[in-house]
Structure formats: C-alpha cells, structure tokens
Amino acid sequence: MLEKRYKVRAARCDYRASEEEVYRTLRRITDPLTRSWEKIEKAKKVVIKFNMMKPHERIIYFHGRRRELVDDAVCRSVLRLLREHTTAQLIATDTNPYTNGYRTPQGFNYEHHLKEFGVEYVDSNLPPFKDYEVPGGGLMFDRYTLSSCFADADAVLSVAKMKNHAFMGITLCTKNLFGLPPMIPPEGRARTYYHHFIRLSYVSQTLPLSPSRA
C-alpha cells in the first residue's frame, strides 16, 4: 500500500459570500495542514503563482466574481493568511502572453492586491533565468528554464481556479504552473507548445515545482 504523504481538504463558498467568509473558510480548511504551515513559517522566501493574469477588459465576471480566474477575495485571503503565518519575503510571479513583447504591464489586474500586502512581483518572462533539474530525471524533459526567483525559494505556492481544460478535463493547480516557463526567445517559446493536447498529459508529470504539500 502506498504511503499517504499528503492531505486534501476542500470547502465551498457561495458566490455571494463576503471576503471575510472566504477568509474564514480558507483558514478553517488549511489550519490542519501543519506540515505545510511549518515549512512556510520557517521560510525566508516564498514564491506564489496566482492564476489571475489577463487584461482587465478580458476578465469575465459573474455577479462580481471572476469566473475563469482566481477571485479577488481568494487572492486577498491567501495573502492575509500568509502574512499571519510568516515574515518571509513574498514574491508573486507570472508570465503575460497578452501584450506585445510579453512584458507584464504596469497596473495589471491584481497588482493592487500585491502592493497592499507588501508582495513583490517578478516577471517570469524576463531574465535572469536558471535551469532547474527535474527530480528523478523527468518523463519527458530533464530540466526546465524558469525565472531565477525560484532558486533560493523555501516554498512555492500555486493558487489556481478549479476549472477544466480542453482534452485534459480537470487540471487543478497543475496547469497553473504552465504559466511559469518564459515565452520570449531564445530562452522561451510560445505557450501554445505547453498546451498541446498530447504533450500536456506527459509534461504535467515532470514539472519541477509543485504546490506545497501538507
């Protein structure tokens, strides 16, 4: 029998829930994840990947809630919990496929949340980069080129929308990490490569970074 080395906890909030209710729910379901919190509490640097990057005009809402992306209340509640648990340097990172040159623009849609909680932002499309070996050698690629902001990170958090993806069904936080490889040549390439309906199923098993386990 395989040893169970992780825990999965879930809860539902109605779309009409207040931000305070979202925060209390998130705190209730994550409080028992002591191994994850111990790692974060000891950390000097925590890197966060939010599934939120999109131009303001392309964000789809349902009664004020983001439909395809992590909601503002969830983003703020995650940052609030982190600030309660750690004094570590918090860095959010992502790539932006929507602008000419793939640079993240000033005033991107969740920048104000990061600033309120004192979180820095690193554009993962821009150097410096570092090659990261895949633990165990990988099933398809043995290394990935990513932002150097991960090099000395003590924990990496993936905060994603629970949604489906064509060909792959429910992808949860795994597909969120496909936003990390740079897109600008020569280090990177267009993100459609990582969304290929054949390659995704294999590459998703070899990414070197994953959500912090309990």
Average pLDDT across the chain, whole number: 85
Q: Comparing 6 with 129, which gets the higher pLDDT?
A: 129
Instruction: Name the most confidently modeled range: 106-115, 138-147, 164-173, 194-203.
Output: 106-115
pLDDT (tens digit per residue) in 150-178: 999 999 999 998 776 665 566 667 778 88
pLDDT (tens digit per residue) in 116-129: 999 999 999 999 99
State phi, psi for 31 to the nearest 5 degrees. Answer: -55, -40
SS3 for 73-137 is HHHHHHHHHHHHHCCCEEEEEECCCCCCCCCCCCCCCCHHHHHHCCCEEEECCCCCEEEEECHHH
State CA 187 to chain mean position distance: 21
pTM: 0.86
